[in-house]
Amino acid sequence: MSTGAPWTATGRLLRLNLRLDRVRLLVWVLALAGTVYGTVGALRETFPDGQARQARAALLENPAAIMMTGPAFGADDYTLGAMTVNELSLSVLVAAAVMSILLAGRHVRAEEESGRLEVLRALPVGRFAPPAAALGAVAVADAAVGAGVTAALAAAGLGGADAVAWGAATALTGLVFGAVAAVTAQLSGHARTATGLALAVLGAAFLARGIGDVLEPSGSWLSWLSPIAWAQQTRMYVDLRWWPLTLSAAAAAALLGAAVVLAGRRDLGAGLWPGRPGPAAAGRGLLSVPGTARRLLRGTFLGWAAGLVLFGLAFGTLADSLEDSAADIPTLEDWLVVDMDALTESFAAATLSYLVLGVSAFAVSAVLRLRTEEDEGRAALLLTAGVPRPRWLLGWLGVVVVQVPVLLVACGASLGAGVAATTGEARWTGELTLAALAYLPAVLALAGLVAALVGLAPRTAAAVGWAVVAWIVFVAWFGQLLELPDWARRLSPVELTPLLPSEEWAAAPLAGLAAAALVLTGAAVAGAGRRDLLG
């Protein structure tokens, strides 16, 4: 390799990264564009006139609503465009940021940690080419997502300069956090630590924006410390202004430059922060399969728990506000399964079912981690030490079986606490905690399905597992509105669970889901014992 050509082979590596990400990128673009398009249609159907939209705008005065959506620009004349931005922009921006962080972590640090980058560097590849190609792939992904958002808005009837601004804001926000991940990848020598640091920065930006907007409805000084606020302050469909996006562009450029500079100041495979030596002897908990699984899943579990509790508390406090404005939303029953005579119960039950979607996603990711341990070679080390495959699989799944009900209890208790705080009725905390546990068979059945895929068809486990999660989310969000047939909705295990506490208890579907979970776990054990470790 020529030492005078540090950027040699950047273009080829960029094409390689895009080829490796082509399926992931397509899924992200279609998912976000489809969500935007579907949400516009859903809002148009649910809030068909100005009176209904103004009733919805009144809910945005709640601090919890501001925290979870953003500043309610245009609430005095709540048009469909203003409603779509206020209801959806935060979710789209955070999703683009998460995508960028994961992609940057994968290409900047994970490839290096696995040793594959060292093989590439043995070829005529410049020193700065790998990080530049990785960041280029993230930029292309963000541009594609931004274009998808703009196209979806145009197709839904909300095109124009505001749609272009939303797409640009999405792309630039994603790029900022992708650049953050590129910087954290230079600090730590481990991909998970680097990604975790970048996600922590995203969480801090989310909180700064939320608290700042609560302090001042149009955004306080604290809001302006967050890249998320820069995108929302463009005020699409209300009073469009482009200049806040220059802050995003400048921050992304500065962080990308810093990442390239830092990459040149460390050794390949190392981080700028020296790793701490571990203890001389492992704790007793790490000497068992469940102890190892607990340790490896700890960060993911705590992250999901914190997020679900935050969302539960925030949405719970909206229960009283919704009851006051429900009479002005004539199509509410087309959007949610609600009983207008018991609106609080219906709202709490529907919201709980949405929180369970997060628990389902955690369960899928926790089980799929089994396959990751195989791919990275750590499972082989355990098995060669004399751990039987059934014990390895069942020990890991046992930890998931314990963590899932803990998350469900956290969802129910936090949602109940929010509803109790706004209604003054303490009974909600206990009732919703028990209602959340009714979803345990459904989540365990989903975890059993993914475990069976890991055991029988490991190469398709991730794709099929996440496809099932996507279908469950789609049914939960749009099944009622689109009037999906019963057989299609019942493909979601969450839909088979009674909407407690607004519906009657039904033991039969829960028993069926529990039996399915046991059968699928048995198939997982049988399959794992009959295939090659990396089969």
- pLDDT tens string 217-259: 777 888 898 999 999 999 999 889 999 999 999 999 999 888 8
What pLDDT sits at residue 1? 41
What's this model's pTM, rounded to 2 decimal places? Answer: 0.77
**Residue-wise burial string across 364-396, b where 16 or more C-beta atoms lie within 10 A, e elsewhere:** bbbbbbbbebbeeeebeebeeeebebebbbbbb
| Residue stretches of the chain with pLDDT short of 70 | 1-4, 59, 61-64, 109-123, 126-128, 189-191, 267-278, 280-283, 285, 319-342, 478-483, 531-535
> Tokens 């475990």 label which residue?
451
Query: Which has the closest alpha carbon to 383: 521, 282, 533, 283?
Result: 533
What pLDDT sits at residue 2? 43
User: How far is Cα 533 from Cα 524, in angstroms, rounded to an integer?
Assistant: 13
CB-based burial label for 54 (10 Å; 0-12, 13-18, 19+): middle
What pLDDT sits at residue 289? 81
User: How far is Cα 379 from Cα 367, in angstroms, rounded to an integer?
Assistant: 14
